[in-house]
Amino acid sequence: MTLRRGIAAAAVAIVLTLLPNTAQAAESYPDPQPITGQQIIHDPTVIHLRSGGYVAYSTGGVIGARLSKDRVNWTDEGNAFAEPPSWWYEYNSTGDPWAPDISYRSGKYWLYYAVSSWGTNHSAIGVATSNSGLPGTWTDHGKVFTSETTDTWNAIDPALIRANGKLWMSFGSYWTGIRMVELDPRTGKAVEGTTVHHLATRPDAPYAVEGPYIVKHGRYYYLFASYDACCAGVNSTYKIKVGRSTSVTGPYTDSTGKPMLEGGGDLLLEGHGRYIGTGGESIFQDRGQDWLAYHYYDAEDNGTPKLGLNRLSWTKNGWPKVF
């Protein structure tokens, strides 16, 4: 879910997915809804603000910010922060943050994000809070969870979910895939000594799965993740896959019953026409309707990353489908 991971992008680009494809044929994938204004974005997280309107945060800048009154016309509103918090420079020389996730609980907005460098899992996830959720109003609270080169996971691409009275954070990229830890709801940081649960990987190195997002629908938890290569413009091969579980910590399986820990995952959305490399996804609710937010690379605009929004619906069998 980031402009990230330097496990040789060229090598990643040739990784061919061996996972089952049970979703729509490519020609039936819907285009993103038409939007206007500032469309450029990468790894979007979107929320309908309680004060009205929408905010989208993203990779780029000091967590780039976009605002909209109607979910159609978007304006560039600068960044979440005026300057990078000093501790970000422990993880890259430019203080560059990746892949934010916004949520609302306990009377305030919470913004999670990652800081790292290409090609290393010396990485950290941080958190900030705001009363309004608007750019320029965030107070940073430091590190939530970290990874080092001795770990078999990568602490980037955070996404939160509340389940069974507990707060959980999924995360991960390459380095054996998607993980999950429990958070302290008071601090928003990892519970001391928390178990690092393993949710999804693939059998083929470099384990090109990242950017998880989990939602509850009915009695199931659904794990969405981006597979293959991002960040290469029109040569990107990003696609979104999904599995589900009756437990937030897994095991997650696809519609054929294949575990996501064994390379399973139903294909939800992939590139088609001008919309290349669909991924970096998140999900938000708007007036009771689920929406999928993601980026794609516009083949008709030199591969520029842009915001994709599609309605997310559910089949009779309880599987998600984009419209």
Mind telling me the catalytic residues?
A: 43, 210
CB atoms within 10 A of CB 272: 17
Q: Which of 197, 203, 190, 205 is nearest to 223 (CA)?
A: 197
Dihedral (C-alpha) 225, 138, 310, 161: value to the nearest 10 degrees?
50
Chain length of the chain: 323
Q: What is residue 274's three-state secondary structure? A: coil
Which residues make beta-bridge pairs with 47? 55
Which residues make beta-bridge pairs with 279? 295
Backbone φ and ψ for 277, nearest 5 degrees, come out as 60, 50
Instruction: Tell me the C-alpha distance between 64 and 62, whole Å.
Output: 6
Instruction: Tell me the C-alpha distance between 23 and 12, whole Å.
Output: 23
Q: Are 32 and 291 in contact (CB under 8 A)?
A: no
Instruction: Tell me the C-alpha distance between 68 and 77, whole Å.
Output: 10
DSSP-derived secondary structure for 199-265: EE--SSTT--EEEEEEEEETTEEEEEEEES--SSGGG---EEEEEEESSTT---B-TTS-BGGGT--
What Rg, from alpha-carbon coordinates, does the chain have?
18
CB atoms within 10 A of CB 287: 5
CB atoms within 10 A of CB 70: 10
